[in-house]
């Protein structure tokens, strides 16, 4: 029995994926973010979650979130927002973001199988030093609050926090967050049939030709 949580923000120009501008316009960056979120919902759809939660920052909920309980994110830093999300869970829960559209149900399947007795948490590191997935057998926001976020050592510090608190952690594969245009091309190559890859391919090739791939 595991709750699935997707944390996301409304994909509005100037609010999401701003580091993709340039070479993308802010409108294109928002379109790519929306495709990334839709791919994420599609990827996790087969998982046998007992509850699905969208921790959302925005007003217009994406259509792909049908069937999810929509919970507004609280104000504050990312560590506080993540902590509050886990505080709202009463059973094992896994949280993932919207920035790794190459994710698959197979990658997360171990979290939705019976947890081994010697596993208290699952941790999915990101290639940029952050993390793309965190699952806790006993959700507790204090395991996250106070961890510096959006840094190159965020993942290492979060993993250290879990282990310092005595949790036995099992690792998930490392994935690439889409932060820069190079990341976008990397992820599109890993999942070429997804909406993210198709959206990226549909942008003006001349506009992207100057990007460092």
- Residue 190 to residue 19: CA distance in whole angstroms: 21
3-208 architecture in CATH? Alpha-Beta Complex (3.90)
Confidence of residue 208 (pLDDT cuts 50, 70, 90): low
Structure tokens at 41: 């919902």
Is residue 91's pLDDT more than 50? yes
- Residue 13 to residue 31: CA distance in whole angstroms: 8
Element (H, E) at 7: strand 3-9
- Domain residue ranges of the chain, discontinuous segments joined by +: 3-208
Q: Are 125 and 131 in contact (CB under 8 A)?
A: yes
- Residue 195 to residue 160: CA distance in whole angstroms: 35
Distances (CA, A) of 9 to 16, 41, 112, 117: 8, 14, 25, 35
Q: Residue 100: how many CA atoms within 13 Å on its side-chain side?
A: 25
The per-residue pLDDT for range 43-78, each reduced to its tens digit, is 999 999 999 999 999 999 999 999 999 999 999 999
71 phi, psi to nearest 5 deg: -120, 120
Structure tokens at 22: 């340039």
The per-residue pLDDT for range 107-165, each reduced to its tens digit, is 999 999 999 999 999 999 999 999 999 999 999 999 999 999 999 999 999 999 999 99
- Residue 80 to residue 193: CA distance in whole angstroms: 35
Nearest 5°: the CA angle 122, 128, 133 is: 20
Please compute the mean of the pLDDT values over residues 98-113 and round it to a whole number: 98
Q: Are 70 and 133 in contact (CB under 8 A)?
A: no
Confidence of residue 212 (pLDDT cuts 50, 70, 90): very low
Alpha helices (runs of H) in the chain, residue ranges in sequence order:
26-44, 78-87, 105-108, 154-164, 181-190, 195-201, 205-208
**Predicted model pTM:** 0.94
Q: Are 92 and 27 in contact (CB under 8 A)?
A: no
pLDDT value for 204: 72
Q: 83: how many CB neighbours lie within 10 A of its CB?
A: 22
Pairing of strands 69-72, 3-9: unpaired
Task: For residue 124, list its beta bridge partners.
Answer: 133
- Residue 26 to residue 18: CA distance in whole angstroms: 7
């Amino acid at each position: 029995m595991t709750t699935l949580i997707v944390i996301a923000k409304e994909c509005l120009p100037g609010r999401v994926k701003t580091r993709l501008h340039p070479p993308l316009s802010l409108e294109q960056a928002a379109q790519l973010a929306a495709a990334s979120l839709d791919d994420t919902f599609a990827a996790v759809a087969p998982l046998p979650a007992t509850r699905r939660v969208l921790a959302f920052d925005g007003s217009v909920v994406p259509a792909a979130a049908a069937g999810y309980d929509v919970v507004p994110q609280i104000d504050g830093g990312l560590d506080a927002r993540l902590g509050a999300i886990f505080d709202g869970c009463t059973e094992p829960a896994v949280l993932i973001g919207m920035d790794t559209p190459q994710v698959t149900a197979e990658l997360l399947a171990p979290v939705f199988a019976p947890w081994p007795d010697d596993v208290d948490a699952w941790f999915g590191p990101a290639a940029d030093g952050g993390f793309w997935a965190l699952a806790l057998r006993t959700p507790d926001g204090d395991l996250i609050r106070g961890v510096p976020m959006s840094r190159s050592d965020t993942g290492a510090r979060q993993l250290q926090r879990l282990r310092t608190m005595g949790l036995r952690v099992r690792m998930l594969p490392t994935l690439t967050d889409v932060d820069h245009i190079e990341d976008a091309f990397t992820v599109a190559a890993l999942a070429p049939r997804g909406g993210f890859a198709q959206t990226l391919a549909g942008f003006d090739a001349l506009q992207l030709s100057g990007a460092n791939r």
